[in-house]
Amino acid sequence: MAGWCDTYRGMVYPWQCDHQGHLTTMHYLGIFDQAGWHLLNRHGLGPEALADAGRGYVDAKDTIEYVTELRVGALVEVASAFSRIGTSSIGLVHRMRLAATGLLAARCEMIAVHFDLVARTKLPIPEDVRARLADHIVDPTKN
């Protein structure tokens, strides 16, 4: 399970598009957010496991690079990976591609902070989690 993994597949629907017929920015972020949760879940950090412990991950920074426009009917796939594991935050990277051609449509880098849902403060990432994720870090600039 090291490195990049498939985290989302979907279609662009008319209700997700703007007046120009393009997928709107809010839906790109929504897709990348869903992909991030699937990546976390694959590594034992899904919403249920975190909520049971009173923990969560909250986005601190999202950077999206739009490469190829997406129009109604486009089938998209997202592959995701971890780019870094910090003391209290993790970096997630996503690549969205057109399913039919493999053409890159967008890239996203997210920084998520490990969070105490009761105290509403950041927490250190447990050492066992840091060790488990260490083997799954990729260089986002390389394929």
pLDDT(36) > 50 = yes
pTM: 0.92
**Average pLDDT taken over every residue of the chain:** 93
Say whether pLDDT at 143 is over 90.
no
What is the pLDDT, as a whole number, of residue 139?
87
Fold of the CATH domain 5-134: Thiol Ester Dehydrase; Chain A (3.10.129)
How far, in Å, CA of 24 to CA of 35, rounded? Answer: 17
pLDDT value at 97 more than 50: yes
Across the range 15-42, mean pLDDT stands at 95
